[in-house]
Amino acid sequence: MSWAFGIENGREVGYAVEATCDAPGCDAKINRGISYRCGETRQLHGGHGCGGFFCSTHKRGTFCAPCEKTVADDDE
């Protein structure tokens, strides 16, 4: 499968899908490719992350801020 375009849970995803950040009130232009996705690549198979798509302000590394906190809490 290519990540250029696909449908996941009824939502268009892929690096060819222009979008805005999923953070409330943020209108940063992104695409719905893997690099903007919150979650581990195994997220669909039980991994961590919400699967939303976020700009670099709202996603640092693998997770968005709320999921990063949840993962940290789970590790304690």
* Residue extents of the structural domains in the chain: 6-75
Question: Which burial class, exposed, middle or buried, applies to 45 when counting CB atoms under 10 A from its CB (0-12, 13-18, 19+)?
Answer: exposed
- Tell me the two tokens of residue 10: 């009824």
Q: What is the pTM of this model?
A: 0.83
pLDDT digits (tens, 9 = 90+) for 26-67: 999 999 998 999 987 655 555 678 989 999 999 988 999 899
> How would DSSP label each residue in 5-71?
SEEETTEEEEEEEEEE-SSTT---EEEESGGGB-S-TTGGGT-SS---B--TTTEETTEEHHHHHHH
**Cβ neighbours for 57, distance < 8 A, ≥ 6 positions apart:** 21, 23, 26, 28
* Confidence at residue 20, expressed as pLDDT on a 0 to 100 scale: 98
